[in-house]
Structure 1
């Protein structure tokens, strides 16, 4: 496992940091430090285009498609420096980290030419259409239906938790295209344009006052037949391939954002005197240890080159960081005390630490609940018998 970086890689780090800090202290200083995903959405679309114009949008992609062909270590470095600079969360995270890599792995040459340049340039924003009201962590239970009508797919159904669908241009959708099929069989993976009469997006207000999530309704919505990724009935394979990209190098950038949050908690504890409480100091120390262990675990996971074996670090990482950050949010509120429960904003807008507490309540649910993650660890990692399923 590689824990350090070469002089050449540190030189790349300097290049990243100088450009990012220059942007965050210059033209785009108005979006520096934003912690909610919907704030200043149009301005952040401009930021996506700025990243694309300077080939910083998707550094790990091949240069042919707007990337830099960066090595794994360089991708890690960029993710870390991006978070360290205070740059806002990527509104095209789904396009850059999920849709793009899926197209690179499974798309045709024509599909790559159609989508990848605009994703890399920040001109096309993607969202994800997987979960449904009765098919969240159990993705194989999706009911949204698709049928082929001459040279078009016609889709009807409902998706939920479609993050940033209200500001996105395209959505990838897992649909059931084989009548009577159940479970992972009979699913097909489609790319659909959102701005059409057959699609309606409805916002869902969250506990922190943000409205990042949406319900998305499909009523005879259409997309060209060649918008299908893979073949008919291969939707499960494509979806699983896509989800494998979710635990990529962005995990290190995520941890740098966690670093920023922990540092703010420490600063608040020193400022209001709660750092003198031995229990608070002990919890801060525990959070620090947990963050460092996560970094080593993520580096180990990314260093794994033997894909023939189940990667235990990959299986445990989601439950590790989600549980850690939920506890971090609780620590933040205990440090702030009663002042953390009041906001001066009339629009229910919170500072970083109260927002951390409110948002982190969802960390152990989205992207696979802790319960689902424990099943994966038991069944795939430890080889234990499968939990009984209702569809047997």
Structure 2
């Protein structure tokens, strides 16, 4: 038995590990180990529905909404075994880990009945409408506008870096609904169908040739008045609650993915002789220590009773893992040597480590740059005076 889990929890580990290993070895072997988020997208949508059919899609949700009512320990175990089995990144991560928990925490019973079944079933894929060209890490600077006309909200503006929007069915949007409001005041949180007149999704090509994220344009796009989560002008509170869920149980699965990447670096270092270099060995040891520290920090973060609020541990987690993984990408290239500088075909054929290096360049930027993370730690975590901001 592994330290920290009961016999019943270890029995649960055996159950989910057996199910996942069986699917990854047989019916879904063709998508095992996929890291690129757009590779074999239709098969991965089928995988979402396979998870749902066996109630593995959102195990922490209440049973009435398609979950298992799983304990925190069971959610942690499943996240670990999911990554250990080599199961692919969740196409509906945004729906299952962010939109769903936000609706459960802040939505009405009618909204839960409207939105949750499709997410749980893997038939409604979601994306996130937060960042804008002038409101990336500084989310409170959003300028996309929403106005209420009769029984509909009408939205105009632009979002950017909307991951998988071109494969999604729904998007949640933070928009400014009070004319003249500034900063976090006057924002509203809306749930919008993507396939409608007035919404244009334009993919953005990345450094590895993949197009995972997009620009999303709104020109008199509409959603029903009851698609508002919370109340008008209360969108900041809902948005911050959602970001707290982002620092939730999925962090343990993320760390198992990091574990797989570090293990691949170690394997290659032993194979090509790079492990004989004492500086490489020292950097591998440092990466191992950092990964273990992240696990302990994540477990401390998950021990909170209110998972809809951001505490000190959650404030520091993003900068911790992003900086660590950026360094891991650089280590991967140094271990590969010249072999890491040559690639043929598209990104799907390059292997784990070159893609790790290229993708990790953005880790310290998206989801809040390291600079913004330091401001948040100082202001919200340590209570230091706010950095002077211009009038926007």
TM-score range, shorter chain: over 0.9
Query: Structure 1, unaligned stretches of length 5 or more?
Result: none
Instruction: Map 1:94-109 to 2 at 5 A.
Output: 94-109=94-109
The answer as to 2:276 corresponding to 1:271 is: no
CA drift at 1:79: 0.3
> Are the aligned partners of 2:185 and 2:233 in contact in 1 as well (CA < 8 Å)?
yes
Verify the 8 A CA contact 1:128 1:163 in the aligned structure 2.
yes
The answer on 1:25 being equivalent to 2:25 is yes
The answer to whether the 8 Å contact 2:244/2:309 transfers is no
Question: CA separation of 1:347/1:281 partners in 2, compared to 1, >3 Å: closer, same or farther?
Answer: closer
Partners in 1 of 2:301 and 2:180 — Cα distance?
A: 39
TM-score, length of structure 2 as denominator length: 0.97
Give a deviation string over 1:58-102, Cα, whole Å, max 9, x none: 000000000000000000000000000000000100000110001
Correspondence 1:181-200 to 2 at 5 A: 181-200=181-200
Superposed CA deviations along residues 99-118 of structure 1, whole A, max 9, x for unmatched, are: 00010011111110011011
Cα distance in 1, alignment partners of residues 347 and 278 from structure 2: 36
Report the 3-state secondary structure (helix = DSSP H, G, I; strand = E; otherwise coil) of the residue aligned with 1:67. Answer: coil
Cα 1:122–1:309 shift into 2, 3 Å: closer
Task: Give 3-state SS (helix, strand or coil) of 1:202's partner.
Answer: strand
1:367 deviates by 1.0
1:157 is the counterpart of 2:161: no
Q: 1-side partners of 2:187 and 2:310: how far apart? A: 25
Q: Cα gap change, 1:324/1:3 in structure 2, threshold over 3 Å: closer, same or farther?
A: farther
* Matching of residues 307-318 of structure 1 within 5 Å: 311-318=311-318
How many residues are paired up?
Answer: 391
State how far apart, in whole Å, the 2-side matches of 1:238 and 1:308 are: 9
SS of the aligned residue for 2:140 comes to: helix
Residue of structure 1 in register with 2:239 after alignment? 239
Deviation digits for residues 250-283 of structure 1, max 9, x if unmatched?
A: 1111000000000000000011011111111111
C-alpha distance in 2 between matches for 1:120 and 1:306: 23
Deviates more, 1:178-187 or 1:71-80: 178-187
Distance across 2 between alignment mates of 1:308 and 1:99: 12
**Given the superposition, is the C-alpha separation of residues 310 and 217 from structure 1 closer, same or farther in structure 2, using an over 3 Å criterion?**
closer
Provide, for residues 160-194 of structure 1, a one-character-per-residue CA deviation record: whole Å limited to 9, x for no partner: 01000000000000111111111111111111100
* Pair 1:253-2:253 in alignment: yes
Aligned to 1:288: 288
**Secondary structure class of the residue paired with 1:79:** helix
- 8 A Cα contact 1:247 1:314, kept in partner: yes
Which residue is 1:118 aligned to?
118
In the alignment, which residue of structure 1 is the partner of 2:143? 143
Where structure 2 has 5 or more consecutive residues not aligned to the other structure, the ranges are none
Q: Give the RMSD, CA atoms, in angstroms.
A: 1.6
Structure 2 distance, partners of 1:225, 1:308, is 24
Tell me the alpha carbon deviations over residues 276-310 of structure 1, each in whole angstroms, 9 at most, x when there is no partner.
Answer: 11111111111111111111111111113488997
Could you give the per-residue CA deviations for residues 13-32 of structure 1, whole angstroms, max 9, x where no partner exists? 01110000000001000000
Does the CA-based 8 Å contact 1:3-1:299 persist in structure 2? no
TM-score, with structure 1 as normaliser: 0.97
